[in-house]
Amino acid sequence: MLASRSFYAMGTTVWVMARARQVEWARVRAQHLFEAWESRLSRFRPQSELSRLNRAGGHPVRVSPELFEAVFQALRAAHATQGLFDPTLGRQLVQLGYDRSWETVPLEQAGPTPRATPPSHHWQAVAMSAETGIIQLPPGVWLDLGGIGKGMAVDAAVADLKDAGVDPVMVNAGGDLAVAGHPPGGSAWPIAIGDESLAGVNLEAGALATSGLARRQWVRGGIRYHHLLDPATGMPVHNALFRVTVAAPTAVQADVAAKAVLISGPEAGKHFLRQAGLAGEMEWKDGTVEVVGIWPEDRRTGGLA
């Protein structure tokens, strides 16, 4: 019999699902792992490694292997998406008002209206040395590793728990989730998508991630903003899409692809998924839903997440 436990980390509720006799131990182990990742990758903690790197003002900084790997993965994702996924927009997020952990962000803010910025492609100018473990950011550039860091933590937690003998297991961090093994009596995990929809999928293996506009919105100077920025402008993206969910082998791949599709828009997003060989479900702002690729079997009876 499966059971679930939760904890709060990386600005979201993280759920661990495993056999009842293992689930509490699995939750403790996963929580320690998430806390270790967050202590390094959070841009909201002044003493985190990432914050120290962002404050370095263009000077070289020797970092831990964990932060080095996270930045490497983020830059690889930027390259793979031709900059649609851009980890160098941390300063723009702060200027827009997303300058602290989400649960403490004021939903109504005063202040000047931020201006759009020209495309910078700063991710191409980040210098990394695998030999020395040194990273050097361009002057004035701040990294934001929130999304990809969460995906990395999910993947790491599932791999760690599986290696420790927890099977089956699912780790779900606010919709970015990965599974290992099969739930008792079935070959797939029934996963509900969205807060209110009964639609969902049967996920046999791998990961799912959702990127959308339903959460993390605030008003600044009378204008509504959200956290998904268009790298071409440094401002919140605006197109016909409301939500994108992607299935991929890992949570990192799913998270990056979901953001890239949502930012690029419907037609370019469909092309991206086909080129990447990934399956995705796109929901328009008018409620229209379209599936690209071989999407896991649809369920209409709810699910586990």
Task: Tell me the domains of the chain and their CATH numbers.
Answer: 2-299 (3.10.520.10)
For residue 1, the tally of other CB atoms under 10 A from its CB is 9
pLDDT (tens digit per residue) in 116-145: 777 678 999 999 999 999 999 999 999 999
pLDDT at residue number 6? 97
For residue 120, give Cα distances in angstroms to 111, 117, 147, 280. Answer: 24, 8, 20, 29
pLDDT at residue number 2? 94
pTM (2 d.p.): 0.92
Alpha-carbon Rg of the chain, whole angstroms? 19
Residues facing 210 on adjacent strands: 245
How would residue 298 be classed by pLDDT, with cut points 50, 70 and 90? low
